[in-house]
Amino acid sequence: MLIDAITKAELKTSGEIRVHIENFSFGNAIKSAEKIFTKLGMHQTKARNGVLIYIAALSRKVAVVGDEGIHRELGDEFWKKLVERLISQFKADRKAEALAACIIECGEQLGKFFPRSTDDKDELSNTISY
Ligand code: CA
Ligand code: CA
């Protein structure tokens, strides 16, 4: 379901979306997410438009981080809203649906600034990393 959502979202944009799920994040979730972002080589996209949705399930933490190309276009506010919505839906216990909706929303927003071209490459795997 999540992989399908990523594949679908990336049909609208050259941006690359990934999801990483782990049990615990000690400390700041954004810092953890940035570490994973680098570890997954997500800063190597051509347009610097990778987005990582980071979930620390047992620590109940969520963060969304985007590369510098995206940051320039979308700013902090967009991520904050996205994370807030995701967290409130997580509490309602519709986790997979909430995450899929978040992925689709990312694709829509990214598409405004990074439309997909006909020769788009899938620069980062759509699989979930753990
Ligand atoms: Ca792509
Ligand atoms: Ca991809």
- Rg, C-alpha atoms of the chain: 13
**pTM for the full predicted model:** 0.94
- Residue 58 C-alpha to ligand 1 middle, in angstroms? 31
Give me ligand 1 centre to Cα 66, in Å: 14
CA quadruple 36, 116, 12, 72: dihedral, nearest 10: 50
Nearest ligand to residue 12 Cα: 1
Determine the distance separating the centroid of ligand 1 and the alpha carbon of 26, expressed in angstroms: 31
- Pairwise CA distance, residues 108 & 101, whole Å: 11
Residue 95 has pLDDT above 90, yes or no: no
What are the beta bridge partners of residue 22? 56
Tens digits of residue pLDDT in 60-86: 999 999 999 988 888 888 888 889 988
Query: Angle at the Cα of 8 (from 96 to 34), degrees rounded to 5?
Result: 65
d(C-alpha 126, C-alpha 79), whole Å: 20
Distance (angstroms) between ligand 2 centre and the Cα of 18 equals 7
d(CA 54, CA 40) in angstroms, rounded, equals 12
